[in-house]
Chains A and B, each alone.
Chain A
Amino acid sequence: MSYVAVKGGERAILNSQKLVAENRRGNPKVSELSLDQISEQFGLAVDRVMVEGSIYDRLLGALALKQAQGDALEAIFLLRAFRTTLPRFGVSAPIDTGAMRVRRRISATFKDIPGGQVLGPTYDYVHRLLDFSLAAEVSVGSAEANAAEEALDPTMPRVIDILGQEGLIEEEREGGGEVFDLTREPMTFPAGRDQRLQNLARADEGFLLGLAYSTTRGYGGAHPFVGEIRLGEVLVEIEPEELGFPIAIAEITVTECQTINQFRGSAEKPPQFTRGYGLTFGHCERKAISMALIDRALRAPELGEDVRHPAQNEQFVLPHTDNVEANGLISHFKLPHYVDFQAELQLLRRLREEHEAAKDAGATQ
């Protein structure tokens, strides 16, 4: 019998896992990465994994990245599968980004703003030249930034709120009521603002970036202005029922982006600026801007605009943003499909036979 078992077994799986562990460790002569090293020196990678993994924990993010050999999507998946086992013990009060301890805050719409422009840490004005001094194992000199002569203004009003005073920009609606929880309930359409923003907050950064890009190239007609981007620390507060007042349970780093978009007005509404909103854990500006653009694009029906492009179509965008879902289905094509393939093979042979027969019949006539 020449039939070789094509079906893999338990032993193959166990050995494959050992091979992964071996590859992960790499050359044992090279010292092993610690979670602190990853968290401190690969901070932006940890930030991305925390946002899309929907869990704020730098050490877990670092652990996931270490376990995933630095593969962001794999690390995000690990965090999600862990997070799903955690109980939900409360809902926090909305964070107040107006009270943020700001480290970076810029506006592209006004030259000067109350509280000032604060460049903070950014790659924006760094020339992307490989810095060979970093290749040296020992650090060269001090990398400490100089402190500003004046302390930052403790109050940094959000730029968009200043426009709001004139009525030039739509009012921010108070949410109120129970907030939808995307991690506990399936999405429904039309999706409310809470569903949309939760979905976009954990969306794949690359996918959002590409979609956001498409809106600026004729597939969405958005010309956005970055009203403000701010990065810094905010308090997370919960209000336990038995206490009756809020208590702070954590301080987290967030990036917030508010875009300002044109709106020509409708029969009911005067022309005014509209908003797009983006918020992420950690320092993820690319994601925050993309999120704000897509948030605004998806509001087309609400504002009475025609839905003509992919980025405006919530039933196209929202079900496809999640990279754990997307990666799962796309990678499942690696699974065996012998049975369905056999069915298709049989059908194809039959169709070809029928095609031949029809051709022959045509020739004899």
Chain B
Amino acid sequence: MSTNSNNEQSGHNEGYNFAYLDEQTKRMIRRSLLKALSIPGYQVPFGSREMPLPYGWGTGGIQVTASVIGPKDRLKVIDQGADDTTNAVSIRRFFQMVADVATTEKVLEASIIQTRHRIPETPLNEGQIIVYQVPTPDPLSKIDPRESETRKMHAYAEYGVMQLTLYEDIARFGHIAKTYDYPVLVNGRHLMSPSPIPKFDNPKMQDNPAIQLYGAGREKRIYAIPPYTTVKSLDFDDHPFSMQSWSGCCSLCGSTTSYLDEVITDDSGGRIFVCSDTDYCNDRQAQLLCDEHSEVQT
């Protein structure tokens, strides 16, 4: 099943405004989004609302999606790259209930993609919006938890401390030991958290034709990357940025270029690796079947 408009389990809930938030709130969030797009990577404080889902479970992303979604949109929701993880299912059901919108699992059919922890393997196009759920918007907060200080560092673009933490890894391990939520410099100006996506996904943000929106509900911050913007992962000339790679391939579709999840198959240490992006993996499996089929026929 790739596309379903609204299934019988959801049904629009008449007691709430379209997409749950009232129009004033949406207007406030849209203004924050416009500001965020005008200053790529800058964290815009916004009046984040309590949502019926818990903070930390995607309330920032949900508020952003609720503010940009319209009745004609087609929504895809993924968590860990997969459409069928429980939280993705739950958020998709929420929007079916409060906005009655069509949903899809296909990247290319979606006008809005809300995601947690991954960027789809399939490249995005112009006109698409990807909404990231963000737990910790400020990459500097791990270095100094005082917001009054980190705001100054951002204002003066004083990012030496971040570079220093990466250097400490090199001094200790010989390489940078940061694997996800790997900090990036956006448009040559603002240091930004890409949300906890693996650094494998970092290069996908660079010059992406889609609009990239980031919502942190609990921390009450919104930031954004407009299409075709420079997004550089921090590194050093003699220690250039590198991403994860696997020696094996996906056990289901054979991909050697996608991000793989490790799945434990039995209690004697058996394990396989499969694509974390289920839509991408399913497509490739279908394609393989198709190829085999046509080979048999010829």
Contact = CB atoms under 8 A, between A and B. Distances in A.
B236 interface: no
Nearest to A313: B146
Contacts of B272: 3
Nearest to B274: A3
Nearest to B28: A184
Contact of A185 (B17, B47, B179, B252): B47
B22 A346 contact: no
Nearest to B243: A343
A347 B218 CA distance: 29
Given A14-B9, A331-B56, A351-B173, A336 B50 contact: no
Contacts of A13: 86, 89-90, 93
A10 B55 contact: no
A118 B148 CA distance: 45
A329 B47 contact: no
Interface string B161-193: 000000000000110010111000000000000
A192 interface: no
B47 A324 contact: no
Contacts of A328: 54-57, 59, 218
B46 to A, nearest CB: 7
Contacts of B111: none
Contact of A84 (B49, B89, B148): B49
Interface in A314-333: 315-316, 324-325, 327-332
Interface stretch (B77-85, B207-215, B226-234, B286-294): B77-85
A7 B54 contact: no
Interface in B90-108: 90, 93
Nearest to A355: B173
A335 B57 contact: yes
B265 interface: yes
Contact of B252 (A3, A188, A325): A3
Contact of B80 (A84, A188, A338): A338
B61 interface: no
Interface stretch (A75-83, A159-167, A219-227, A238-246): A75-83
A42 to B, nearest CB: 23
A24 B196 CA distance: 36
Nearest to A78: B52
Contacts of A362: none
Interface of A: 1-10, 12-14, 77, 80-81, 83-85, 87, 183-190, 315-316, 324-325, 327-332, 335-340, 342-347, 351, 354
Given A186-B47, A328-B54, A331-B54, 7 more contacts: A7-B85, A315-B148, A325-B55, A339-B197, A340-B117, A342-B198, A354-B174
19 contacts: A3-B265, A7-B80, A9-B86, A12-B86, A13-B93, A84-B50, A185-B45, A315-B148, A324-B55, A329-B135, A335-B79, A336-B85, A336-B87, A339-B197, A339-B261, A340-B179, A343-B180, A343-B199, A344-B179
